[in-house]
Amino acid sequence: MKVAIIGAGIAGLTAARELAKRGINVQVFEKSRGVGGRLANKRLEWGNIDIGAQYFTARDARFQQQVDQWQQEGIVARWQFNPYSLTASGLTTLPDSTPRYVGTPKMNSLAHALARDIDVEFKTRIVALERTRDGWVLSTADGLTVQERYDWVVLSLPAEQSKALLTGTAIENQIPEYVHEPCWALALATLGDVPAEIQGVFGDEVVSWLSRLSSRPQRPIQKKDSHQKGSDTYDDLWMLHFSSDWSTIHTKESEVNVTQAGFEWLSRALEKHIDKPLQVVQDFKHYWLYARLKNGKAMSSVIADCSTGIAVIGAWSAGGRVEGAYLSALNFVDYFFE
């Protein structure tokens, strides 16, 4: 049996790994140059930035078992901190004992671990699927047809992209048209002293989440000292995830200065905790078109048609979190490939 998986995020790679354990021939196709999906890490000259998910949690026993194994292998670490909330009067601490985890040294370290010994065809965008008597035929964006024929095709993509590929299939109508909302992600490298306990902040209608990237486990930064000059050194690295509403209004085509808006927000949020204004020395921004679920509710995590061998998995079908992506793949494989 041969299975094609489209998308090398957590769901796609988990499915590939579990199928391979069962002796099934698996081929993964990924449009980008690396694995991880929304666990993306951007490697810049001045630092490595996790621009997608900033942490993840574990509630299901099966996922917790996997997280424990990753911790033993040094792939995952606990991010221990007390989150803050931004209110009208400033930052206030939240009573929160939720265990939070990060990939080490990067968030996509999880994906790299799952991808071990998995055949991934990078920079290959699949744009069409056709079911023939010999199996599924896949066509790529450069006009080529994949030579192999597959018994199953598993889509591990945002719902909107999956639906576009599923036209004419048995499960096309099970995929909603509009599932996600966008999010601007902005990294700011700053000079200035900020209390060490401020590591994560639940924000407001402008910025929904603030991470102090430089406070997380195994995140070395470039410190400025008296012998260094230039703007390649900094004291802290921050990641701001703007709210869905703000990001919907201020799209990539808008004229808003995202860096300025983010720095002004950061300065206001921290103004009661710093002695003098911060200085921005580096910045990077990315627009996530498919970021958060509109309603945050889980759907059925197994969407498939066994008679034709077509399936859809992903975080969006199981709650929208890293754990949901993992479990959607596990549930699919366990149900159809016992």
CATH number of 55-106+180-293: 3.90.660.10
Domain with CATH 3.90.660.10 in the chain: 55-106+180-293
Edge-to-edge strands, sheet with 207-212: 90-93, 84-87, 200-202, 207-212, 236-242, 180-191, 279-293
**Residue extent(s) of CATH 3.50.50.60 domains in the chain:** 2-40+109-177+299-336
Return the DSSP state at 216.
S
Q: 64-100 as b/e, with b when 16 or more CB fall inside 10 Å?
A: eebbeebeeeebbbebebebbebeeeebeeeeeeeeb
Each of the 338 residues of the chain gets a pLDDT tens digit; together they read 999 999 999 999 999 999 999 999 999 999 999 999 999 999 999 988 999 999 999 999 999 999 999 999 999 999 999 999 999 999 999 888 899 999 999 999 999 999 999 999 999 999 999 999 999 999 999 999 999 999 999 999 999 999 999 999 999 999 988 899 999 999 999 999 999 999 999 999 999 999 999 999 887 665 545 444 445 689 999 999 999 999 999 999 999 999 999 999 999 999 999 999 999 999 999 999 999 998 765 566 689 999 999 999 999 998 889 999 999 999 999 999 98
Question: What is the dihedral sign for C-alpha 30, 32, 33, 35?
Answer: negative
Token couple for 297: 């509710």
- Give the list of residues 6+ apart from residue 23 with CB closer than 8 angstroms, or none: none
**CA nearest to 29, candidates 122, 107, 109, 115:** 122
What pTM, to 2 d.p., does this model score?
0.93
CA–CA separation, 159 and 75 (whole Å)? 29
Single-letter code of the amino acid located at 325: A
**128: number of Cβ within 10 Å:** 13
CATH for 2-40+109-177+299-336, options being 2.40.30.200, 3.10.20.90, 3.50.50.60, 3.30.450.40 = 3.50.50.60
